Structure 1
Amino acid sequence: MSLKYAKKSQVVLFTILAAIKACNIVFVAYMIKIMLNVASSGSHDYMHLVRLAILTGLGQLCFMASNFVYETVKMTIVRDVNMVFKRANLTYLVDQGNPDIKNGLSLLTNDLKQIETNRVNAQLDMILQGLTFIGAISFAFYSSWQMTVVFVVAMIVPALIQMITSSVITKKSKIWAAKNAIYTQNVSDSLNGAQSAKLYNVQEDIVSRAINAARNMENALRKMSLTQAWALELIYSAAELFCFIIPCTIGGILMMQGQLEVGTLVMMVDLAMNFITPVVTLFNEFNQVKSTVPMWEKTKKALNYTFKHNKHIPGDFEGMQIRDLSYVTHKDKKRIFENVNLDVQPGEKVLLMAPSGWGKTTLLRLMLGLKKPKNGEIIINRKNVSGNWEKAHNFYSYVNQKPFMFDDTLRFNITLGRKVSDKELQAAIKEAGLEDLVKEHGLDSNVGEGGNNLSGGQIQRVEIARALLSQRPILLADEATSALDPNLSLAIHKTLLENPKIAVIEVAHKISEKEKSMFDKIVHLDKHRIETKM
């Protein structure tokens, strides 16, 4: 149940307030009974009726004040539960690091809103409707058990309809969830690819692609909503026939026979509306909850996920050895490379060269422990860390060809939210060559979406500052300067390779001779040949 993620004290308070709200219905029905019985008794005591009306009005004011608090507590619970779900899902998705983000975007936007509306709110309403049903039927049974039994038996038909329609709604909701994920990805693609679309004059084609996905999503949503609406209509129609018309006819006969007062009959009808309508509403709310099953399964996975805070900084780096490493893809069993051997000493600068498509990036991912080799092993500090992300990744920092920039401040993009001392931050800024940028714009300047307020070289230096700030002994560089001009590439390499504190392993397929001379050794992966500095 979603509400177990709310504060227990808030749920208890909500339940108490819901019980008070449910009593409002019984109070009004009872006062109507008394007033009608007084009116139909032949008495002309008008002041008695006025006093009853004033008492009813004062009671309603008290219930209204309680209902204000009820709504406040309800909205607080919805907010708090939503924040738990958002944190859990975001933590899970970020920790998984899946490059296919369409399902994650869909979950964090549309799916969570569906869970809020059709699950959290629905379950809160089910508490209210359940208490309303208990209060109304209890008082009705006290007033006339015969009529109460008639009304209760009549509720069987709406219940059967709900049971039949529930599985259909669940099936429709699964289809909608899948179509919604595709639509979300298409919108993301359209916005991210807008410049390419504009360049090649294909804006209409790109928009049409997203609109087709939107149409499929909306059609699936329409079918799901239509099924819910039809189910509700069937339930209400059955309730009106079996729960009002037939019982009221029986009540009229009892009244004609003198077994029922007019006030009691009207009260019973009013109460019946408030113990039949809650049941019908409960059926509808149950169907709403069922419609969120696909989204809820994803959220449950995130809620049950244990995030490991692995912030361990390795001690002294004593060296890394790669022995007879080979890799075969899991999907098509394609051999990427084999018999790779490499030794890296502390502070050593190693260039790995091979043609495009050889598998250089795959080799780096093996070092990080993201992939598991077919054969061979990777040893750090005399321990085998092959395929073990938890043991391996804290030894490495990583510089990408296209580093990701958050739409946030320069400070956040360097620290990534980590708490570091000003001394550590300034040292990383100086070593990465960012002093001029910080002096000109300040650490609290926004880098823009994708770092569009920075140049390519500045983005690379921010990535280097991140790496240096992590204080990890090995820096992996994946074609880090291939998109930069020669002068800037040389400047970046000087920053990376003149730092004696870290070992650098860079993969590249094209690099200048001057830059090559800055490495301690060059490994030609495709030829199994090593050049060392003389």
Structure 2
Amino acid sequence: MEIKGMLLKYTSKKKLSCFFILCILRSCHSISMAYITSEFITIATHPVEVSKLYLFLVVVSLLILFFGCLGFAFSHMYNSLVYDIDMYVRNLAIQRLCEDGNDIDLSFMTNDLKQIEQNVIYGQLNLLFDITSFVLTVVTCISQSIIFTLISLVTMLIPILFQHILSGRVEEKSRIWEGENSKYTIFVTDLINGMDTFHLYGTIPVIINKFTQKTTQLEQRSKELNNTIDNISNLVSLLSYFIGALVPLVTGLYLVYCDMINLKTFILISQLSMTFINPISGILECITDMHVSKPILNKIFKPSRKSMESNSTISNEHFKQIKLRDIDLCYGTNIIQKHIDLKIKLGEKILISAPSGWGKTTLLNFLLGNLESENGEYLLNQVNLKGNRELAKHYFSYIHQKPLILEDTIEYNITLGRKTNTKELQEILQIAGLTDLVNQKGLSFKLKSDGKNLSGGQAQRIEIARALLSHRPILLADEPTSALDLELSIKIHRLFLEAKGLTVIEVSHHLRKEEYELFDRVIKLA
């Protein structure tokens, strides 16, 4: 396991130190029980005074009570560490999603993160305990008989080596399952979003059949992964018990027969050597589990391709003009449009009209800096933004064709958690035409995902309010009123087209005559 996958370093050193001490104390449980068992046998074969027997029983009772109480403290600290590490991993995952979401999806944020918790976080805490238990047991055994202990240890190396050889198969099966699970999650998301359409066109039986196929594929991969893990675990356990238990017992009997150790030592080491198996099996199981989750961890800890963006804003007075000169518009490796020239000045309200499939949304994404062009220049205030695309984003706000409405309050949907004063927010609400809605429902009214408890116009007004609140000098609008009727479309357009000093760039494939007249300039592209 790569060092970046050791998640214990992301928790409090104080807590981890306390947990390690608890591991040491709890590891003494099996050693104490082995000593107690050997002493009972000694007492049975060599009777002692009743008073000493009573004292021995009191000590045993106190030890049992102590280790019982210790279990509560151990569990509490264990769960506290799981919480700390899990929170760190989830926060890091959301950072990766925000920086570069190509490898992070719904399946990752739910199923995969849960797998990290179960396989890696639990695994590494258990690994620390198992290693501590193993070391203390070995030290105790060596103090009794070096030869017997060494033989027991050597027999344990075989299952460890065997597990290491087969770990690559677990990683491969895990990668295959993760890919299938991601496809399944996307399919289920599409299924839920398109349920009304499927009902409308009577394709529910087809969808159910396809769902069954996807589920079968996912469960088949899951079964293959689980079978691989279980087969390796069972083989390793078989080797551990057969070689690690049987060989030391036979060896111990031979040493007793040769008078090299006494019966008490044999019983003590035999019982402790049997406890070798539990830590060794636990260590091997933890390593296997971490190999299963290694592809998932690599997604979180890989170097990000984008730095976290600041929320700084460029005021209107710092924006003069945008100029595209001989730009080739690309989507992936495909060139959509060539030799694009465009010049837009401060305060202009521009409509770019082009047919469907021209690449209008791609053009807006290029202006935002999400896409690149090998040819031409992208000048903002005469500064070529090639190599410094992140700067461009501080100039723009954006209105989507389908408004982004989160399952949260009206206020959060507008501010996105940014701090703003009440007066400023009220002004934006009035400009965006949301005053009536807020007066009726309140800013704390909780909206449903995708704005299911809003009208189309209300959802679009929230999107506009969000854009205006950012005070960016340039507003990009991607067919913001395509789903609205003419009267409402004109009202919505006026909300941002009449904003003073705001530069607007809207793209659309079809607007009515009354809407064209709202813009300063219309650029028609074939």
TM-score by length of 2: 0.94
Structure 2 unaligned segments of length 5 or more: list them.
Answer: 1-5
Q: Which residue of 2 aligns with 1:325?
A: 326
Residue of structure 2 equivalent to 1:148: 149
TM-superposed CA distance for 1:253, in Å, is: 2.9
Cα separation, partners in 2 of 1:232 and 1:354, compared to 1, 3 Å = closer
Q: Does 1:375 align with 2:375?
A: yes
1:187 and 1:244 mapped to 2: Cα distance?
Answer: 49
CA drift at 1:47: 4.1
Residues 363, 388 of structure 1: alpha-carbon distance in 2 compared, 3 angstrom cutoff: farther
Segment drifting more, 517-526 vs 464-473: 517-526
| Structure 1: distance between partners of 2:454 and 2:351 | 28
Structure 1 residues 269-308: aligned runs within 5 Å:
269-301=270-302, 307-308=307-308
Are 2:64 and 1:60 equivalent residues in the alignment?
yes
Cα deviation digits, residues 308-356 of structure 1 (max 9, x gap): 3412221314421324333243645434142423232x22211112222
Offset, 1:12: 1.1
User: RMSD of the alignment, in Å?
Assistant: 1.9
Aligned ranges 1:183-332 → 2 under 5 Å = 183-301=184-302, 307-315=307-315, 316-329=317-330, 331-332=332-333
Moved over 4 A (4+): 304-307
The SS at the match of 1:522 is strand
| CA distance 1:59–1:515, change in 2 (3 Å) | same
Distance 1:165 1:49, change over 3 A: farther
Name the stretch that deviates more: 48-57 or 481-490. Answer: 48-57
Deviation, 1:166, is: 1.3
- Per the alignment, do residues 383 and 324 of structure 1 end up closer, same or farther by CA in structure 2, a change over 3 Å counting? closer
Deviation at 1:377, TM superposition (A): 2.3
Deviations 1:393-452 (A, max 9, x none): 111111111111101111111111111111111111011111111111111111212101
Alpha-carbon distance change, 495 to 114 in structure 1, aligned in 2, over 3 angstroms: same
Question: Which residue of structure 2 lines up, in the alignment, with residue 348 of structure 1?
Answer: 348
- Describe the superposition over 1:109-165 as per-residue Cα deviations: whole angstroms up to 9, x where unpaired: 111111111111111111111111111111111112222122112212212221222
- 1:157 aligned onto 2:161: no
What is the CA distance between 1:92 and its match in structure 2? 1.4
Q: 1:31 aligns with which of 36, 42, 47?
A: 36
The residue that corresponds to 2:116 in the other structure is 115
C-alpha change, 1:438 and 1:331, in structure 2 (3 Å) is closer
Unaligned runs of 5+ in 1: 527-534
What CA deviation, in whole Å up to 9, does each residue of 1:87-107 have, x standing for no partner?
111121123355xx8x52121
Q: Is the 8 A contact 1:479 1:506 kept in 2?
A: yes
Do the aligned partners of 2:24 and 2:132 also contact (CA within 8 Å) in 1?
A: yes
1:334-413 equivalences in 2 (<5 Å)? 334-344=335-345, 346-386=346-386, 388-413=388-413
Q: Deviation of residue 296 (structure 1)?
A: 1.1
| Offset at residue 31 of structure 1 (A) | 1.9
- Per the alignment, do residues 378 and 44 of structure 1 end up closer, same or farther by CA in structure 2, a change over 3 Å counting? closer
The SS at the match of 2:350 is strand
Per-residue Cα deviation, 1:350-398 (whole angstroms, up to 9, x for no partner): 1112222222222222221222234332322232225743111111111
Q: Secondary structure at the match of 1:329?
A: strand
Q: Is 429-438 or 218-227 further displaced after alignment?
A: 218-227
For the residues of structure 2 that align with 1:517 and 1:425, how far apart are their CA atoms?
30
Task: Tell whether the 8 Å contact from 1:169 to 1:291 is kept in structure 2 after alignment.
Answer: yes
CA contact (8 A) 2:350 2:506 kept: yes
Q: Which amino acid aligns with 2:9?
A: K
Match of 1:489 in 2: 489
Tell me if the contact between 1:366 and 1:386 (Cα under 8 Å) persists in the aligned partners: no
CA contact (8 A) 2:319 2:473 kept: no
The answer as to 2:467 corresponding to 1:498 is: no
* C-alpha distance in structure 2 between counterparts of 1:246 and 1:387, whole Å: 67
1:7 counterpart = 2:17? no
| Displacement of 1:307 | 4.4
8 Å Cα contact 1:325/1:374 also seen in 2? no
Per the alignment, residue 3 of structure 2 pairs with none
Partners in 2 of 1:499 and 1:445 — Cα distance?
Answer: 27
The equivalent position to 1:72 in structure 2, one of 61, 70, 76, is 76
Amino acid paired to 1:401: Q
The partner residue of 1:45 within 39, 45, 49 is 49
Aligned-residue sequence identity (percent) comes to 33
